[in-house]
Structure 1
């Protein structure tokens, strides 16, 4: 497949866990936001191991703040939270007396202040996965359009991409709606749509949407995966390893 081919797909990438590893920034920002909302709690400066275990389950930024606060509790039942994460979120919000929009707004305020104070320091908390920058530049060179679809705020993702001199044909943040909503809009104009993610539940939601059956879905083997995320993948979700990712699109599974 060449970039000049009219059959070239539009490749849509998730951001966190696919292009960029921002684990250090996630904990830093989530911790700062949680401490702003609950100054009496105590949280370590370095991300605890439990946060890394929770990260594959976290879908939106506000959840990171809530999880940081929860990790301050001595009586936290971590295994129960891991097993029943989605069901526990409303209960935990009620326990802390917070709302999802409040947490999201606080998180974005923390990040905005950090960018204004020292952009270089904030950028240094992120790293692109090996080979990603080079692969995206080869897509550009081949004339293959690629976009970014993330639950991160659009401006924050833009700054990280800009620092690496990467320019997607479009960047969709959480402000543009859910990932299935954005994909439905894109599919109207791009009948060959490939979607690359590191969250299996997100891909399963896409596969379950009758309007998105034409979207070709890929689950990367890196990123924030749960222990069993790559096991027994359902039809229509393809396992993408670094070697295939680096190769021609025609060789992707």
Structure 2
């Protein structure tokens, strides 16, 4: 009998919808860095459009600062995100480390001040908790790999009563780096479930990760066209497939 796979789940956009928390934290971190700016309490449409392109937490804070600019050309930003990201860092005279620190300090303060309110900004996707509980009951190992700070992800999972084998946050390195280390240290086949297509493409292009099965979920923070013409080695995962036994996954 084939050995059961090790399931590795991205967090935001796969297990949990944290869009409300993203804007709540990004807005406050941005205003802490640049208190003279003005940003709405509710996330503007541009933030939802940028979210599928955002890879790391500090980019959320930078996106909030950019959305405070009346002259922002959002279509151009969306068309060449990486170029505009670098331009924005120069425009605001900020480094990724400072943006990340502002975000994590803000989150830590929010959790300490009112943990229930912070937790309430997150919503597990329908059926996710039940599916993960079923994996635990079946003895199928699973873990979380996220660009969120590991401590924040662990706190949310504990609030939902979930106990993954491990949680790897951005502190452990990039997702391909963590997956490569995992693949070298255990014998189980690895299945990686993610909502960001460029991340999966990066995994597929990493030497040593050819055997990792990659799944792009049909929910979460997808950009238009993300599920179309997927390259070999990346399979779309619909909610009903996610809920089904692992043997029937694509």
1:232 matches 2:215: no
1:125 corresponding residue in structure 2: 121
1:245 corresponding residue in structure 2: 242
Cα contact 2:144–2:164 (8 A) shared by 1: yes
Q: How does 1:42-81 map to 2 (within 5 A)?
A: 42-81=38-77
CA distance, structure 1, for counterparts of residue 189 and residue 11 of structure 2: 20
Aligned length: 249
Cα contact 1:191–1:214 (8 A) shared by 2: no
CA distance, structure 2, for counterparts of residue 195 and residue 37 of structure 1: 35
CA distance, structure 1, for counterparts of residue 83 and residue 195 of structure 2: 21
1:35 corresponding residue in structure 2: 31
SS in 2 for 1:213: coil
C-alpha deviation, 1:6, in angstroms:
5.4
Q: How does 1:192-211 map to 2 (within 5 A)?
A: 192-211=189-208
Q: 2:187 aligns with which of 166, 177, 190?
A: 190
Cα contact 2:29–2:106 (8 A) shared by 1: yes
C-alpha deviation, 1:209, in angstroms:
1.1
C-alpha deviation, 1:91, in angstroms:
1.0
What is the TM-score with the length of structure 1 in the denominator?
A: 0.97
Cα contact 2:4–2:188 (8 A) shared by 1: no
The CA RMSD over aligned residues, in Å, is 0.7
Structure 1 residues without counterparts, runs of 5 or longer:
none
What is the TM-score with the length of structure 2 in the denominator?
A: 0.98
1:12 matches 2:8: yes
C-alpha deviation, 1:191, in angstroms:
4.0
1:84 corresponding residue in structure 2: 80
Q: 4+ residue runs of structure 1 moved beyond 2 angstroms?
A: none
**1:2-48 deviations in Å (ceiling 9; x for gaps):** xxx65100000000000000000000000000000000000000000
C-alpha deviation, 1:89, in angstroms:
1.2
CA distance, structure 2, for counterparts of residue 133 and residue 87 of structure 1: 38
